[in-house]
Amino acid sequence: MSRARRVAGAARQEEPDEDNPGDAARLCAGIVPAPGRVTVTGGSTGQVSGHAVLVAGVALLRPEEQVLEAMLAGWAGQQAARGLGGETISGRRGRVRAFAEHAGCPPWLWTAQLFEEWCADLRSVHHVAASTLRGQAGAVRLFCEYLTDPVYAWAEVCWGYFGTHPVQVCTRWNTPRHVQDGESGPERRAFTVAELQVFFDHLDDRVAVVHGSGRKGWLPAFRDAVLVKTAYAFGLRRREVSMLDLADLSANPRAPEFGRYGVCQVRYGKAGAGSAPKRRSVLTVWGWLPEILEQWITEVRPALARDGTAALWPSERGPRIGLSAIDRRFAAERDVLGLDPSLEFHSLRRSHITHLIEAGWDPLFVQQQAGHAHASTTSLYTCVSSDFRTRTLRRVLDETIGAALGTGQGPEG
């Protein structure tokens, strides 16, 4: 009989005897349920601490499964109290379930060896990225911290039901560490100016072809072309561009030449842990953008948008285009051209930053456009070309030589 099955059998013990000194002590500590009393899992006697209540006096039909669900529910409540979003909590619970399934036993039987085998399997068999592995391991570590925290008393609960208790299986020696800021694959890069021009031209040509055929698909094609160009022009992430509304575009008093499209208010920026989405304003820097936005909003969008929707990019079947649809359409058009498969939608954001730097814009301005708190983060997105580095080197050398000669010009001056 496996260890897990032996421990599961321990849950079917007789009712505790209050005359027995050992059982009496456990009853007082709230470790085992007494008839007529409610035991709150994950907490001390009579106090809600794990957000999951097991009714005393009622035998658990599936003790391992039910206690695990109570643990996960309590952990979800703890994270919600910290202000973490539902997607974050759900993702972490999924990672913990994945480890439990791989280990083949409940959390109170987990060992460091089981955790290390799981990590090795993720890396060598499933070939997950380093950042993905760290996220998987981090979820298990946080879950074990919750279970072993005396405040929640899960050790006592498990000891009462199963005769054992959970331990922390993640240590500094068996978990991946975050040793550098940028962990994206080396194949991830920005578009070159030439590649981006070819891509934009292809999107425009596709609109003309579909429109010329008389099919109604030209409306989504027009939307996709303008969406991609807008994401590049403002350096937006997928969710940031997807969640834009008409009211998020406004005039810049200091740049009247852009009309009512001088500023883009980003309301769904990347959020920090436990915080709301970060807001920022991005300024229009390229003169070609207002014209295409004006045409989209005034001429084309009304034919696609449903009544009452404020979304800048309405969908054919809903009020707003989804993230998966953005990725799917982007990849399809990229593959038609035979462009590098490593160029993804996020490459538009890298391109925005890179092309501004190459054009000589102030690095602090570029950092603020991107919404980065630190210049080091912006530098990770910068993929300047070798030609730009050569021109920069030549300019600095010419200025240095000119200053040394007292002419203020290069050697050819």
The residues carrying an active-site annotation are 237, 270, 346, 349, 372, 381
The SS3 assignment for 77 reads: helix
- Could you tell me how many residues make up the chain? 413
| Type and span of the H or E element at 233 | helix 218-234
Backbone angles phi, psi at 317, to 5 degrees: -115, 0
Q: What are the angstrom distances between the C-alpha of 331 and each of 48, 135, 334, 340, 404?
A: 49, 26, 5, 10, 52
Rounded to whole angstroms, the Cα distance separating 361 from 383 reads 15
The SS3 assignment for 305 reads: coil
Rounded to whole angstroms, the Cα distance separating 236 from 228 reads 10
From the list 268, 247, 230, the residue with the least C-alpha distance to 349 is 230
SS3 content of the chain, % helix, strand, coil (to 5): 55, 5, 40
Question: Are 327 and 267 a contacting pair, CB within 8 Å?
Answer: no
259 Cβ contact list (under 8 Å, min separation 6): 251, 290, 294
410 Cβ contact list (under 8 Å, min separation 6): 397, 398, 399, 401, 402
